[in-house]
């Protein structure tokens, strides 16, 4: 099983009741819709004082945890509500699940401890999820 398969399995396991495809697409769309994509998401974490947390997920060391409230602060109400609506869960549940899943997703998508350049990271993940639909 490849790292994208593992990532999808982890995400699915954390979002009870949502289909594999809905969870995968929802999480990847959240990243894709960030102004600047992955780089924009990283910048949001830095602006909120959580850049070190995000960088721990990219690095090859231990992943630092993040709370649902911190996720809400970084992503904002609108994005969390949009994902929650797509998955059919409350915004609180969505924030909590994102806090559980996002560190592992970033970790699995950056196995060498660095983010691939040129949008390659998002392209690989989206290609996998499109093939799974």
pLDDT in tens, 30-50: 777 778 777 788 899 999 999
If one counts the domains in the chain, the total is 1
Domain of residue 92, residue span? 3-132
Nearest to 20 by CA among 4, 34, 32, 33: 4
What is the per-residue pLDDT for 110?
78
In this structure, what token pair is assigned to residue 19? Answer: 């289909």
Predicted structure pTM score: 0.74
What is the per-residue pLDDT for 65?
96
Residue 91, phi then psi, degrees to nearest 5: -60, -35
Question: Per-residue confidence at 127, pLDDT binned at 50, 70, 90?
Answer: low
Question: Per-residue confidence at 130, pLDDT binned at 50, 70, 90?
Answer: low
In this structure, what token pair is assigned to residue 116? Answer: 């691939």
Angstrom distance (rounded) from CA 64 to CA 14: 18
CA 53 to chain centre: 13
Is the model more confident about 56 or about 17?
56
- Most distant CA pair in the chain: distance in Å? 36
CATH number of the domain encompassing residue 62: 1.10.10.690
């Amino acid at each position: 099983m490849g790292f994208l398969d593992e990532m999808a399995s982890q995400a699915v396991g954390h979002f009870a009741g949502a289909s594999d495809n809905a969870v995968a697409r929802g999480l990847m769309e959240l990243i894709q819709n960030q102004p600047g994509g992955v780089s924009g998401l990283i910048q949001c974490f830095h602006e909120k004082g959580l850049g070190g947390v995000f960088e721990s997920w990219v690095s090859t060391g231990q992943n630092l945890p993040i709370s649902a409230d911190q996720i809400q602060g970084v992503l904002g109400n609108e994005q969390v509500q949009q994902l929650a609506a797509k998955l059919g869960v409350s915004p609180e549940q969505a924030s909590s699940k994102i806090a559980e899943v996002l560190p592992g997703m970033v970790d699995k998508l950056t196995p060498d401890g660095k983010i691939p350049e040129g949008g390659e990271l998002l392209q690989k993940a989206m290609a996998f999820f499109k093939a799974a639909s």
